[in-house]
Amino acid sequence: MSTRELVVLGTASQVPTRTRNHNGYVLLWDDLGVLFDPGEGTQRQFTRAGLPVSRIDHVCITHAHGDHCLGLPGVLQRRALDGLTGPLTVHHPTEAADTIAGLRHATPFDDTAPVTLRPVDRDAAPLDLGAVTLHAAPLEHGEPTLGWRVQEPDGWRLLPDRLDALGVPPPVRHHLVADGEVTVGGRRVHVEEVAVRRRGQSMAFVMDTRDCDGARTLAADVDLLVVEATFLEDQRALAEEVGHLTAGQAARLGAECGARRVVLTHFSQRYPDLTGHAEEARRHAPGLDLVVAEDLDRVPLPRRRPSPSTTGGNR
């Protein structure tokens, strides 16, 4: 059975606490693994989470502040220590290229696998990661910052009873989805006759930003939104000044953008207790499917949305 979930490695912001490690989030998407913003201690948090670094195929970094990238050298060197040979791509803002290149070779070690550093511009086209695409959008922070979105395209869910009725054998059914049609017994069978539309799933990562157009583009109708909530509303002026969100703003952003499940994280060290974040978020967005993240949480993607109504026998 496939796994689609977020593994929370750390929920602190600039300063870690006794209970909150620096940033780190792993999206497990079937066979694909994406690590977002590895702060200090990420390698250790992999161990605590029972997650091997071999699960990671891509790293996405929002910006060059240390709490979002200083764990990268440890992750890369751990992969080499484990003798991994699979390729890894590190996606980051173009403006952070020098910093990321320095972290890539922060200390000497012997590479065992190719590591590609991929600078991403603010208007870059989506990148094909195979089963999903990776989108970037600019955020508003003191340092050039990008948010990320992982998007699965819409597909098809085959209906066994219709396949059997038309005599479509199992060996050719994958061709039906890939090509849109197959010929069986001299008859052309179209995918619309034997399948219903299946909505693609999505996850967005919005970190270190004010409320802005880029954040809302990434969060629009997303299944799982991971969003910073550094402060509470009584510190809103400070949040605006330094380019962060309050718990209330983060929750409203998720609700107004139609996010199905919202994970709040990146909490200032001034808040040893996160009860206030939960209460404030629920007050500003009643009914929101909300998670106030703790280190080592595992948050599944919501169940797939119902198939859209279409013509051609679909429902």
pLDDT tens readout for residues 45-58: 999 999 999 999 99
* Whether 211 is catalytic: no
What is the signed CA dihedral for 210, 214, 216, 222, rounded to 10 degrees? -120
- Under DSSP, the state recorded for 194 is H
What mean pLDDT comes out for the span 241-262? 98
Start-to-end C-alpha separation, the chain: 25
211-227: pLDDT as tens digits: 999 999 999 999 999 99
Q: What is the pTM of this model?
A: 0.92
Residue 126 to residues 118, 129, 151, 152, 222, Cα–Cα distance (Å): 13, 9, 10, 12, 16
Give the closest residue to 257 by CA, choosing from 149, 143, 152. 149
3-30 average pLDDT score: 97
Map out the domains of the chain as residue ranges. Answer: 4-154+199-300, 159-196
pLDDT score of 308: 63
Q: Is 122 exposed, middle or buried (0-12, 13-18, 19+ CB in 10 A)?
A: middle
pLDDT at residue 15 is higher than 50: yes
pLDDT score recorded for residue 305? 85
277 in Cβ contact with 234 (< 8 Å):
no
**Quick check: 126 and 135 in contact, CB under 8 A?**
yes
| CA neighbor of 281 nearest in space, from 253, 302, 300, 241 | 253
pLDDT in tens, 114-167: 999 999 999 999 999 999 999 999 999 999 999 999 999 999 989 999 999 999
Average of pLDDT values for 285-291?
A: 98
Mean pLDDT to the nearest integer, 275-304? 97
Distance CA 39, CA 8 (A): 12
In the predicted structure, residue 2 carries a pLDDT above the cut 90: no
Q: What is the mean pLDDT of residues 5-26?
A: 97
pLDDT grade for 306, boundaries at 50, 70 and 90: confident
Helices (H), the chain: 42-48, 72-81, 97-104, 160-165, 173-179, 191-194, 213-219, 236-242, 247-257, 275-284
pLDDT for 21 beyond 70: yes
Contact 148, 120 (CB under 8 A): no
pLDDT at 254 over 70: yes
Q: Please compute the mean of the pLDDT values over residues 162-187 and round it to a whole number.
A: 91
pLDDT at residue 309 is higher than 80:
no
d(CA 298, CA 309): 32
Evaluate if residue 27 carries a pLDDT over 70.
yes
Cα-Cα-Cα-Cα dihedral sign, residues 210, 214, 216, 218: negative
- Across the chain, how many H-helices and E-strands are there? 10, 18
Tens digit of each residue's pLDDT (9 = 90 or more) over 33-89: 999 999 999 999 999 999 999 999 999 999 999 999 999 999 999 999 999 999 999
CATH of 4-154+199-300, one of 2.60.120.10, 3.30.70.260, 1.10.530.10, 3.60.15.10: 3.60.15.10
The mean pLDDT value for 2-17 works out to 96
Q: What does the pLDDT read at residue 174?
A: 87
Contact 250, 242 (CB under 8 A): no
Catalytic residue from among 30, 37, 67, 213: 67
> What is the reported pLDDT for 87?
98
